[in-house]
Structure 1
Amino acid sequence: MRVVICGAGQVGYNIARYLAAEDADITVVDRDPALVEKISDALDVKGVIGFASHPDVLEKAGVANADMLIAVTHADEVNMVACQIAHSIFDVPTKIARIRDQSYLNPMWSDLFSRENMPIDVIISPELEVAEAIERRLNIPGAFDVVPLAEGKISLIGIHCSDDTPIINTPLRQLTELFPKLHVRVVGISREGRGFVPTADDELRAGDDIYVVVDQEHLQRTMEVFGHSEKEARKVIIVGGGNIGFNLARRIEESHPHVHLKLIEVDKKQAERVARALERTVVIHGDALETEILEECNIDNAETIVAVSNDDEVNILSSLLAKRHGCRRATALINTGSYSSIISTLGIDTVVNPRSITVSRILQHVRRGRIRSVHTVADGLGEIIEAEALETSGLVGVPIREVKLPPGVIVGAILRGEEVIIPRGGTVIRAHDLVVIFSSTEAVKKVEKFFAVKLEFF
């Protein structure tokens, strides 16, 4: 696959990193020579310096022979023009663009991105994606990550294990014996900075971050088994009234009428705009790092603070101040990857990384075969893949224990019609089953082959 990526920032770099690891032919375009040099030195990709919206630059990048163009520069307009040129001049089959300004995404202008006007096949809006991801985590307190799968019938849940987790130091094979009716499977473990796919003999330890695939109907019981019985928050404070904070508040107003919501915004004009646009949210103009502002929000009575300003340090410090003043849980938006290793030790419950969310959405449209969705996990631990099994797939018709799955791959769940199946060694996958697989990053390419449409299928 030949892919041209416009933009060598964090998102562009991570997309290139994932695809280069799978032997894709990648060219990255950016006007900043330092970024192009950095990505060319670190990854097996070609770098081109120049404006991604200029036809001669795209031609130099080889877009005429590309299967896909992914435009993730910091400027919406550059991303849009790059897609237009890729279509009109070079006839690139698939064009993906990151669009951040909400004005472009207003439903009343939906025809703008039609094939007749500005042909963009997939639009990614990080702000909307992040707001949706945070809302899912608010719905399931105790989970640091929540990914819906299989039309909402299955979920991937990230759970932190502590000394209070009832099943630590217990071999995973005993979970089935202890809870025979619980439809859940542990598919990934992150321990002391190292991620791995567990075997039946592995045990959970205090400090582990684990990923489990669970039948949606068994979600509440699963959280209790792993030591989390927190109630959904009714009093929430949002720090930051930008696109993410505003969209999150609007989603909570629409879907959770029982939640009492307050929003803190340091910029007066932005606070006024947000206050006019929202209906039930109390908007407070002030600095979330000032104790007086937190006290005005009754922080000691709040259940959750969600810090989503455009400043990582503000998000971290306001979360820590809120917890010190009595707030029970804290969720912080963190863009800087170097902070990730220390966040859990500081006491912040949930970290949201917009970069990984955006990369996951884009990779979903890059994967081949009958793959419906892809989500990156723990910034490199692996990917959760949801795909349809075809008649020609090597997964179909034999017990899973006899399938030669690559190392680092585990079948987490199967959706057959309306039935959710947590597979065992003797489970047989049938044609047209929807299969949820957890794969280490190194094995993703091999997993794709299981779902490729082979010639004999036609």
Structure 2
Amino acid sequence: MKILIMGAGRVGTSVAENLVSEQNDITVIDSDPSQLQYLQEHFDLRVVLGDGSQVSVLENAGAADTDLFIACAASDTANMVACKIARQLFNIPRRIARIRSAEFPEHPELMSEDGFCIDALISPERSVTTYLHSLIEFPEALQVVEFAEGRVSVVTVRVGAGSPMAHSSVDKLRDVWPDVKARVIDVLRGGRPLRAGSGTVIAPGDEVVLVVDSDHARRAVRQLRDAERAVRRVMIAGGGNIGLRLARQLAEEKYSVRIIEHDLKRCEYLATQLPDSVLVLHGSGTDEALLERENIEDMDTWLALTSDDEDNIMSSLLAKRLGARKVIALINRQAYGELMQGSHIDIAVSPSQATMSELLRHVRRGDVAAVHRLRQGVAEALEAIAHGDRSTSKVVGRPVGKISLPKGASIGALVRGEEIILPDADTVIETDDHVIVFVPSRQQMPRVEKLFQVSASFF
């Protein structure tokens, strides 16, 4: 696929890095030569210096034969204008814009062909906030993502020493939870995947990835580790867009929220935007005296959400040492996140992976309803809709056991109308089924995409 990306900032660089590894033809436009030099030195892609909202620059970048245009510059206005030019002058089939403003999605008519010609919006701040909220709602989990409009969840949990599933093989789990609709689709031990089969024995400390009926998710997770006390008290370090969004949402849901921000003017702004129940504190998340004064030891969850990885790591380590029950840190550098998660930092959240999960639904071929990155972005789970019949589709009318999935990939669940099915090898996929597929490596994704593309005779 030929993809044109406007903007080489943090979001654009992350998008380019993720998509270029999947053998896409990538071109990146930016007006900052240093950003483009970094991309050109580290990745196999083409760069163009200039303003992506200018017709001549888009033309020079090859917009005329581009399949997908992703506008993720810092300016919402520039992204919107660029999408309109991409459609009306270059007829680029699909256009995605990164939009920070919370107001724009409230007016869908602006996205139409009569407006700015935007097929989809991505908002990193919204994606990360949603992800963090799910971790607060589900304190036992390391990751929670949803499919089929929330009816199916994929949950990652670290197995506790007292779990009834510890020392049990995967094929015996139905005996442990006979009334829970769930299945193990992946097991990690020491950070490495086991390629778990039916005979794999789960050990304490393993990270288990489950696909589960969302109504049964909490019961399933509590079979893997002891139930944790519900979260009521939350302290947030960092009052940027993500901190503000999350604090507002939690306050509306009656959580007790405190937010620390080092910039005095930003504190004053936060105080005007947040409910009176939220305590806004001027200071640093690495200030030990401040944390002790604000009773950090009573906090159920600490979240470090500044734009500085080092500050987030240090403040989280300090909060944990001072008694915070669970600490979550926003960490942009993948190597840092992999190093810190599971140590004194309970969960390291990558903003780029949360954003990519939102973006990939529009990049993947076939009729894909949702995609989520798992295992620090190494694996993926996607929800694909099966179309056609046995003669036009590689999956419809075929038993699950006869579908030629890549090695290690598996079909975890089917959603058929109102029914959620955990298929066995003999379950036959029907047209319009929503199929939840686990893929252990992103490099295998093109093969999975082809399975769900119908032949030309279908049309």
TM exceeding 0.5: yes
CA distance in 2, matches of 1:165, 1:311: 37
CA distance in 2, matches of 1:220, 1:154: 12
Question: Could you tell me which of 256, 266, 270 is aligned with 2:266?
Answer: 270
1:52 CA displacement: 2.2
CA distance in 2, matches of 1:22, 1:163: 39
1:164 CA displacement: 4.4
For 1:236, what is the secondary structure of its paired residue? strand
Tell me, yes or no, if the aligned pair for 2:337 and 2:350 is still in contact at 8 Å. Answer: no
Tell me, yes or no, if the aligned pair for 1:213 and 1:412 is still in contact at 8 Å. Answer: yes
Tell me, yes or no, if the aligned pair for 1:265 and 1:285 is still in contact at 8 Å. Answer: yes
1:233 CA displacement: 0.3
1:227 maps to amino acid: R
Aligned to 1:390: 387
1:2 CA displacement: 1.8
| CA RMSD across the alignment | 2.3
CA distance in 1, matches of 2:307, 2:406: 41
CA distance in 1, matches of 2:234, 2:63: 47
1:85 maps to amino acid: I
Tell me, yes or no, if the aligned pair for 2:337 and 2:349 is still in contact at 8 Å. Answer: no
1:452 to 2:450 alignment = no
Aligned to 2:308: 311
1:377 CA displacement: 1.6
CA distance in 1, matches of 2:269, 2:31: 34
- Where do 1:150-229 residues align within 5 Å? 150-195=148-193, 197-229=195-227
1:177 maps to amino acid: D
CA distance in 2, matches of 1:96, 1:26: 15
1:163 CA displacement: 4.0
Tell me, yes or no, if the aligned pair for 1:188 and 1:212 is still in contact at 8 Å. Answer: yes
User: More displaced, 358-367 or 379-388?
Assistant: 379-388
User: More displaced, 75-84 or 220-229?
Assistant: 75-84
Aligned to 2:104: 105
User: More displaced, 233-242 or 183-192?
Assistant: 183-192
Structure 2: unaligned runs, 5 residues or longer: none
Number of residue pairs the alignment of both structures matches: 454
1:106 CA displacement: 7.2
The two structures have a TM-score, normalised by structure 1, of 0.92
Aligned to 1:118: 116
Aligned to 1:88: 88
CA distance in 1, matches of 2:74, 2:343: 31
CA gap of 1:408–1:12, structure 2 versus 1, over 3 A, is: farther
User: More displaced, 396-405 or 381-390?
Assistant: 396-405
1:148 CA displacement: 1.3
**Any idea what the Cα deviations from partners look like across 1:317-369, whole Å, max 9, x if unmatched?**
22222222221111111112221122135311122111111111111111122
1:197 CA displacement: 4.3
Question: Could you tell me which of 377, 380, 397 is aligned with 1:380?
Answer: 377
1:361 to 2:358 alignment = yes
- Where do 1:17-96 residues align within 5 Å? 17-96=17-96
Question: Could you tell me which of 324, 334, 343 is aligned with 1:327?
Answer: 324
CA gap of 1:186–1:11, structure 2 versus 1, over 3 A, is: farther
CA gap of 1:209–1:52, structure 2 versus 1, over 3 A, is: farther
CA distance in 1, matches of 2:56, 2:268: 44
For 1:305, what is the secondary structure of its paired residue? strand
1:445 maps to amino acid: P
1:410 CA displacement: 0.5
CA gap of 1:356–1:396, structure 2 versus 1, over 3 A, is: same
For 1:369, what is the secondary structure of its paired residue? coil
1:7 CA displacement: 2.8
User: More displaced, 188-197 or 311-320?
Assistant: 188-197
1:8 to 2:8 alignment = yes
**Any idea what the Cα deviations from partners look like across 1:139-170, whole Å, max 9, x if unmatched?**
11111211111111110112123544443343
1:15 CA displacement: 2.9
1:436 to 2:432 alignment = no
CA distance in 1, matches of 2:354, 2:377: 12
Aligned to 1:351: 348
1:236 to 2:237 alignment = no
CA distance in 1, matches of 2:454, 2:304: 44
Tell me, yes or no, if the aligned pair for 1:195 and 1:381 is still in contact at 8 Å. Answer: no
User: More displaced, 199-208 or 138-147?
Assistant: 199-208
Aligned to 1:287: 284
CA distance in 1, matches of 2:231, 2:249: 15
Question: Could you tell me which of 134, 153, 158 is aligned with 1:136?
Answer: 134
For 2:197, what is the secondary structure of its paired residue? coil
CA distance in 2, matches of 1:62, 1:196: 43
1:53 maps to amino acid: S
1:268 CA displacement: 1.6
CA distance in 2, matches of 1:64, 1:357: 30
The two structures have a TM-score, normalised by structure 2, of 0.91
CA distance in 2, matches of 1:121, 1:140: 32
Tell me, yes or no, if the aligned pair for 2:234 and 2:258 is still in contact at 8 Å. Answer: yes
1:3 CA displacement: 1.2
1:105 CA displacement: 3.5
Tell me, yes or no, if the aligned pair for 2:162 and 2:226 is still in contact at 8 Å. Answer: no
CA distance in 2, matches of 1:238, 1:223: 26
Identity %: 38
Structure 1: unaligned runs, 5 residues or longer: none
Question: Could you tell me which of 332, 337, 342 is aligned with 1:340?
Answer: 337
1:93 CA displacement: 2.0
